[in-house]
Each structure stands twice: as structure tokens, then as C-alpha cells.
Structure 1
């Protein structure tokens, strides 16, 4: 018997959602890596509008 629409046993949430959670984590990681590669590319590393320009120049000076 349902009381106010609630079931006796809770509806599973995490078990059917695990593929979407895993895919969102992988997507976040890959987009982060692509963004970092784009910011550090030769074309944009010396661009004055790049917010990481000073940091990249400092790292390239040490190499």
C-alpha cells in the first residue's frame, strides 16, 4: 500500500544513473585537457589576451 505516493521500498537512483555520472566525469576531464592544450598551443601561448600567458612564459623559460 502506498502512503501519499511513497512506496514501501525506495526507488533506486544511483544504480541506473551510473553511466551518466561516469560519462559526465569523463567528458569534464577530456574537455579540461583539451582546453589546457589549446591555451598552451604555440599560437595562443604568446597572445596578450591569454590569462595564463605569464604562467606559460615562466614555465617555458625554465625549459
Structure 2
């Protein structure tokens, strides 16, 4: 017998969702790396609109 549509045993949530969580983590990591590579690329390294230009210039002097 169900009470308000709830089952006796809870429906598994984490087990069927692991591929989506793994893909989300991988996508987040790869997009972050692509953004970092784009900001530090030769074409945008000295661009005044680049918010990381000062930080990149300081790192390149070392």
C-alpha cells in the first residue's frame, strides 16, 4: 500500500545519476581549461580587455 504515492522503499537517486554527474564534472573541467588556454593565447595576451593581462605579464617575466 502506498501513502500519498510514496513507495515503501525509496527510489534510488545517486546510482542512476552517476553518468550525468561524471559528465558534468568532465565538462566543467574541460571548459575551464579551454578558457584558460584562450585567455593566455598569443592573440589575447596583450589585449587591454583581458582581465588577466596584468597577471599573465607578471608570470611571463619570471
**TM-score (norm: length of structure 2):** 0.98
Match of 1:23 in 2: 23
Stretches of structure 1 that go unaligned for 5 or more consecutive residues are: none
Point out the structure with the larger helix share. 1
After TM superposition, which residue ranges in structure 1, 4 or more long, deviate above 3 angstroms? none
Report the TM-score, using the length of structure 1 for normalisation. 0.97
Inter-partner Cα distance in structure 2 for 1:3 and 1:38: 55
Flag structure 2 segments of 5+ consecutive residues without an equivalent: none
Aligned twin of 1:34: 34
The number of aligned residues is 62
For the residues of structure 2 that align with 1:47 and 1:4, how far apart are their CA atoms? 60
Look up the SS of the partner of 1:19 in the other structure.
Answer: helix
Q: Which residue of 1 aligns with 2:59?
A: 59
Shift of 1:37: 0.2
